[in-house]
Structures are given as C-alpha cells and as structure tokens.
Structure 1
Amino acid sequence: MGLEDTCVHCGFCLEACPTYVVTRSEIHSPRGRITSVRLAVQSEGIETCMFCRRCELACPSGVEYGKLIHNVRKEAPLKKAVNVIMEKPSIAFRLIRSSKGLNSPLLKRVHSLLPSVEKPLEYRDESPDLILFPGCLMSISFRKTVERALNFIKSKGYKVEVVNGCCGLSHYSEGDKDRSEFLIRGLKEKFRGRRVVSLSSNCTAHMREMGLQVEDFSEFALNELKDEKINLTVTLHDPCHANLLGINKTTRRVIERLGINVREMDEPSFECGAGGGYFIYHPEIADRVMEIKAEKVKKSGVNLVVSTNPACSIALAFKGFRPIHLADLLSIETHELR
C-alpha cells in the first residue's frame, strides 16, 4: 500500500493548508494532491505545495504527506541550480550581491526579499568542542544573529567552530533525493562525535528527521540560562517544521524563563508564506499567504515577532514586521527593541 492509500479524503487537512486557504481550490490542497498521486497525474498542485506539512498535524489518519510529496516531485533545473548555489553560502553571497540591478524577474524578486546580504561568518577556536551550524540562508541574511549566537555560546565557556552549509531541506522538499541524501551524509561526517547547535529551527527539524543528532539553539539556551530577565512584549511565530517536531515548545519555554510578555497572534503556526524558496518561484500564491499571515500577526497588536527560522523572518520583514531570533533577544539591550 502506498502512502497515498492511507488518506480517507476526510478534508481535515484543507483549512490547515495555506495554498488551499488562499485559492479555495481542491487541486491546491493536500487531499487534491494525494488524489493526483493516486491517479498518477502530475498536476499543478504538486508544484504549488509549500511543503509546510501542517496537514500532517491535522490528519487523523496519519498520512505521511511530506514523504509522499518528496517521492513524487521532480526538481526543475532552475530550482536545482539555486539549491546547489545555496549549499555554499559564501558563493551565494557573492552572486546575490553582484546580480543587483540585473533585469530578471527572479533576481528582482530575490533582491526585494533580501535587500542586503552579508558575507558568512567564519570562525574557529583552537580545539573546538562545539559546532554552531547557522544553515545556508541564516549565514548570509542574518549574520549579526549568527555573531550573537556565537558570543552567547562562547560566554558559557565553550570553544566553537562555525560551520556554514546546507541541511538539504530545500532539496528534499523539491524531490531531489540524491542531493539531499548526499548533503546529509556529508553533515554526518562533519558532525561525527561532536556537539552541534543548529541556529535555524526548521533545519534542526529536518536534520533530526534524517537521523542527525543536533541541538536546537533554543534547547542550548534553555539549559544555559541563569537569571536573565527581559522587560519586553513580543508575539511568537512557530516555524512549520520546527512546530511539527515540537521544537517551538522549547522556544516558548525560553521566552517564559526570560520573563518576556507574549501576546499571541492568531494561529502562530500558520505558514509565513516563504516556504523555503517558494516565495521566489511562486510569488502570486506566496504573497497571498504572506498577506493572510500578516493579518494574523496584526491581531496581536505587536510588531516585534520572535522567529527562529530565517525564511520566515524574511517573509515577516517583507510585510513590515520586526523579526527577532532568540540569539538576538539574549544579546541586544532592551531599549534597542522598543
């Protein structure tokens, strides 16, 4: 029996799916995509899936939707090329910077979402006992966050090496089985026998699902916090894959430990609209999802949004909010956030 055969067509997944919410089209729903797999039809809906996997939490039958989509998607050459470039953040940084002003709809979209990028942080203490893994997008889009995470970890007495690279989540979501498995094998070799702190929570979730022993920054922070208190009010966004594995619960425990006031947005785990690189390739649907997410955030009455995943933070910033990572909260003076 295939993964698609466990679906009973009940429809619980529909309102959990961001692309169905904005299109109201069965084709763009998990149920509709599963139907196309059953019929062996490569429908448009297969390509418009954001791979947030919120449907898995809503499904009473336990359909492993992520694995199903991974198995049937065929990565387009352009997406494959972009994903390969992102494996080397230093190369991605140079290409994004040098391409500014070029007349290409895709590049214009990239620069509208990423108005500035920075060279990835390279750092290694002598005989490091811990690896800080920012992930590909975090490395170039939120370098200051990486620096703050590094400083926080070092302040706790650890010797650190920053390892820039890609966890393969984008490759996996687009159906590039060979490349995603290749990247995971490479990380297993790099990480072997060493403690690893992952800064991007969706990357943490993916690496764990692929069998890697990694620690999310929220978990590291929770174990290392003493009596720090921060007088601040925030709202929290729950990144999709991290939410699927329950990592966001630890983020919330850190926020609670810090004494930070939380005003909940409507449906915190609703997809941000980024979908990894989705908001580059499918701008029309992505923008509609981002708009709905923005309305949900606005209901909190707070502009400062805790987000532990870089693509989510980029989408939130694109809609005018101020995203902040736990590593930033632990390093920035409160008056800078008001």
Structure 2
Amino acid sequence: MGLEKCVHCGFCLEACPTYVITRSEIHSPRGRILAVKLGIPSEGIETCVFCRRCEAACPSGVEYGESISSVRKADFLKKTIHRILENSNLLYTSLKIAKHSNKGIMYRISKFIPESFPPLISNDKNAQIILFPGCITSVVFRKTVEKAFNYLKKYFTVSIYNGCCGLPHYAEGEKDRALQIAQKLKEEFKGKIVVSLSSNCTAHMKEMGINVYDFSEFLVKYNMPLPKINSEVTVHDPCHANLIGITKYNREVLNRMGIKIKEMEDPSFECGAGGSYFVFQGELSDKIMKVKEEKVKESGANTVISTNPSCSLAMMRYSKVVHIADLL
C-alpha cells in the first residue's frame, strides 16, 4: 500500500486537523500509518477526516488515502447512508424526515441541514453538457444548481445527472462499491462534457480516471463570459480539490470578475464536516470547525467562497457562504 515510504519525519503532523486539535500521535497520519503497518486496532483509523492534507505535506510521497481506504470497513449504518446518497430523491426524503428528529444522528444531521429540496431534473439525451451537482448539492443547494444550469443553458444544451461520485464510499470503508460507481460513471459520461459543481467530487472522479471539469475549471478553459462584481471575499480550498490543484480556478474566476480576495490563513485547512464525519465524530468535528471558524474570521471578509457542499454546510454556521455559480 506504499506505507513503507513513510519515514516518520513528522511533516504531516501540522497538516492534519485531528492532530492539530488533539496533539495525539494516535490521531495523526504517522500514528495511523504505524497502526496499519503493525496490524493493530486503533481508534485513530476511524477519527481520520480523510482530507488527505497529509499527502500534500509528505516529502516521501506516501499514498495515505489509498492505504486508509483499504483498511477501513463500513458498518451497516454507514452503508445505509451511502446507499441513500446514491439516490437523490431518497436523500431528499431522508433529510425531510431528519428535520423532525430530536435525537441521535438524524438530529445531528438536521442541525447542519435544516432544509432540503427536490433535485432539479433535466434529461436531454442529446445535451452538449452534463451538469453533475453531486449528491448533497442536488438537494441541499438546489438554488446553486439552478444558477449553474440557467447560466450554462444560455450557451449549450444541458442535462443533469443526479447521483453520487462514490467518494463517501471510498473514504468510509466501501472501496469496492466506490470503484463500481466510478465504472458506471465512466460509461454514463463517455464522450460527454461533464461539469461538476462539487469540487471534492470533481477531484475524486478525476482520480478515478473520469473525464470531468470542475465548474470554475470549465469557465476558465472555455473562456466563458463573466460578470463584473464589486465585492470582497475569502476563499476556502476544499481538501481533495486542493490536493490535485484545481482550486486555482476559483481564484482565477474571481479575479476575472474583479472580486477582491482576502486570503485566510491556510485556506485548505479542513472545514470539519468530512463527509459523514460530522455525524459520527461530533466532538472532534466541532473542534476542527472552531479552528476553521477562527481562520475565516481573521481574514476580515464577510463572505466565504466554497465550492464543496459539506464544507459550505460547516461554514454556514458562522459565515455567509456562496458558490462560484451563485455569482453568475
């Protein structure tokens, strides 16, 4: 799994959000790697947010994400959540039910996701572009989907593909299922231009060999017309998107719009949501969110640009958050 490359140098430590808040070796990439190498149980395996920031910090090129995804095993509850994410209508219904819960994980979910909406449907088999909102975006940020759809529709024929990219499965112990989803998407998207609204989904699909553009990446590479806006924002870099280098397109689009960027310290620092991490690791999640909150507030900007839905949900608790598509 490539773990033999780890020399336990410690460069990963300050990049890891769980180590930053606990100062515990168990909750560090280095500690988790040692547990996997020795084949011993460790609570650190489950407390990993799977942001993979440690990979960017690692001078030895350890493929940490690949290794952790291979040893994690999803229980029945996580598998159930993964199946719900695969079906946008089922996700919408589940979130509506969660809204009326007052205990347990459903209540925790309702505190982060107070509203949900039926997914936007557009099935044009001859469409020039497939818009891929991502599972959460499709039902929680429907207005963003509408904005993106209406913008693209000015220049192209557009269909919408509602579903999951498989990242939650890959990160949370269902790697085989994630690979099945990736293969299905490759077949569905073959020969099509696909534009994704969820940046970490984009990054995951790219890593799975699926040809897809992140929304801002598409705007830049196709030199799409953009409005001029007099505003200032700070920018959050979603972890996986930052790892593969596509967050630069958000800044390029903002610069073309004339929007002033007030950079926060370490903009790719984990938001704290981490897929379903905020559900199952509530205490650690809240502490990570608090660190992120301070970074956002210290930037001095009142608005955060976020192009990943779970990140947006975490930061909406303390700041105004908008997607690039919301600006069009």
One-letter identity of the residue aligned with 2:101: L
Structure 1 residue aligned with 2:166: 168
Partners of 1:46 and 1:207 lie apart in 2 by 24
Q: Deviations over 1:156-206 (max 9, x none)?
A: x20010010000000000121221111111111111111111110100000
Native 8 Å contact 1:14 1:55 kept in 2:
yes
Displacement of 1:12 in angstroms is 0.5
Structure 1 residue aligned with 2:202: 204
* Residues matched between the structures, number: 327
Structure 1 gaps of 5+ residues are 331-338
Partners of 1:273 and 1:124 lie apart in 2 by 35
Report SS of the residue matched to 1:247: coil
Partners of 1:67 and 1:79 lie apart in 2 by 19
Displacement of 1:126 in angstroms is 6.3
Instruction: Please say if 1:108 is aligned against 2:107.
Output: yes
Structure 2 residue aligned with 1:335: none
One-letter identity of the residue aligned with 1:172: Y
Structure 2 gaps of 5+ residues are none
Native 8 Å contact 1:126 1:159 kept in 2:
no
Partners of 2:226 and 2:272 lie apart in 1 by 36
Which of 305, 312, 323 is matched with 2:321 structurally?
Answer: 323
One-letter identity of the residue aligned with 2:74: E
Which of 171, 180, 183 is matched with 1:182 structurally?
Answer: 180
C-alpha spacing 1:9/1:230, structure 2 compared with 1 (3 Å) = same
1:27-106 to 2 correspondences below 5 Å: 27-106=26-105
Report SS of the residue matched to 1:267: coil
Give the structure-2-normalised TM-score.
Answer: 0.97
Q: Deviations over 1:115-166 (max 9, x none)?
A: 11111111134621110000101001100000000011111x2001001000
Partners of 2:81 and 2:266 lie apart in 1 by 31
* Bigger mean CA offset, 200-209 vs 185-194: 185-194
Q: Which runs of 4+ in 1 moved over 2 A?
A: 98-104, 124-127, 223-228
Percent pairwise identity:
55
Partners of 1:128 and 1:104 lie apart in 2 by 44
Partners of 2:98 and 2:30 lie apart in 1 by 39
Displacement of 1:4 in angstroms is 1.5
C-alpha spacing 1:126/1:87, structure 2 compared with 1 (3 Å) = closer
State the Cα RMSD in Å.
1.1
* Bigger mean CA offset, 122-131 vs 4-13: 122-131
1:274-289 to 2 correspondences below 5 Å: 274-289=273-288
1:244-259 to 2 correspondences below 5 Å: 244-259=243-258
Give the structure-1-normalised TM-score.
Answer: 0.95
Structure 2 residue aligned with 1:218: 216
Partners of 1:104 and 1:285 lie apart in 2 by 19
Native 8 Å contact 2:99 2:114 kept in 1:
no
Partners of 2:125 and 2:231 lie apart in 1 by 37
Native 8 Å contact 1:235 1:302 kept in 2:
yes
Displacement of 1:9 in angstroms is 0.4
One-letter identity of the residue aligned with 1:117: S
Partners of 2:325 and 2:100 lie apart in 1 by 33
Displacement of 1:312 in angstroms is 0.3
Structure 1 residue aligned with 2:137: 138
Partners of 2:226 and 2:194 lie apart in 1 by 25
Report SS of the residue matched to 2:247: helix
